[in-house]
């Protein structure tokens, strides 16, 4: 098969593919706020949420961030997003992972304070995207009531997007979400002895 045949076959295949893709897009035509959940053991759950944050900022939306576990030390995302106080309201309200604090009552109190902050965003239609980072961890340890959380999420403004991150998302939340991704660990640099690098992991 010569080069011209390859190119022609490619064109025909891509034309068929375009018809399938176009049909899919045409059938998804409703505008609505999306509830996303990023879960699984692989890397990319929080970073994907912060990538959405800059997409939202690029489209002129306001962004509210609540970090449920992180907060003990400032991360790159916090250092950067705090440069835009008019556009981003950033709240790192955790005190470290629960195996760091080892104090369940303190964790519950911190999670409840963080959820109160989240509810403020979920009641404010001027906030286009709400990032609830590591909320799944707080739900997994039952620091928060999942039914209450879902009720508050459902009551939010209809065009507001929300992204929830963290391992082990509860089945009830997965059921309630519009878009769910499981970040599957294929390989991690930790296993090769590389420490958590700034700009990559935090």
List Cα–Cα distances, 166 to 52, 97, 128, in angstroms.
16, 11, 21
- Shorter beta-carbon distance to its own copies: residue 22 or 116: 22
Query: With binding defined as CB under 8 A, does residue 111 bind its own copies?
Result: no
Give bridge partners of residue 91 from the DSSP assignment.
66
- List binders of its own copies among 85-104 (CB under 8 A): 97-104
Q: Which of residues 114-173 bind its own copies (CB under 8 A)?
A: 128-129, 141, 161
Smallest separation, CB 166 to its own copies (Å): 14
Of the candidate residues 7, 23, 126, 145, the single one contacting its own copies (CB under 8 A): 7
109 binds its own copies (CB under 8 A): no
Q: How far is the CB of 167 from its own copies (least distance, A)?
A: 13
Residue 18 binding its own copies, by CB under 8 A: yes
**What is the rounded end-to-end Cα distance, in angstroms, of the chain?**
50
Minimum CB distance to its own copies smaller for 46 or for 67? 46
| Calpha distance 179→18 (Å, rounded) | 23
Q: Are 178 and 33 in contact (CB under 8 A)?
A: no
Q: Measured on CA atoms in the order 159, 157, 36, 171, is the torsion positive or negative?
A: negative
């Amino acid at each position: 098969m010569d080069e011209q045949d390859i190119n022609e076959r490619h064109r025909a295949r891509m034309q068929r593919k375009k018809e399938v893709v176009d049909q899919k897009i045409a059938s998804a035509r409703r505008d609505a706020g999306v509830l996303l959940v990023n879960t699984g053991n692989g890397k990319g759950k929080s970073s994907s949420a912060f990538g959405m944050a800059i997409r939202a900022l690029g489209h002129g939306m306001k962004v509210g961030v609540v970090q449920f576990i992180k907060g003990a030390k400032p991360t790159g995302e916090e250092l950067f997003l705090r440069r835009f106080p008019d556009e981003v309201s950033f709240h790192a309200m955790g005190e470290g992972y629960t195996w760091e604090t080892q104090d369940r009552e303190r964790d519950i109190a911190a999670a409840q304070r963080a959820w109160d902050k989240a509810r403020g965003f979920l009641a404010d239609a001027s906030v286009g995207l709400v990032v609830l980072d590591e909320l799944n961890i707080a739900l997994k340890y039952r620091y928060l009531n999942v039914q209450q959380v879902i009720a508050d999420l459902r009551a939010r403004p209809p065009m507001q997007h929300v992204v929830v991150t963290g391992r082990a998302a509860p089945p009830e939340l997965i059921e309630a979400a519009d878009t769910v991704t499981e970040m599957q660990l294929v390989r991690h640099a930790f296993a090769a002895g590389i420490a958590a690098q700034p700009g990559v992991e935090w």
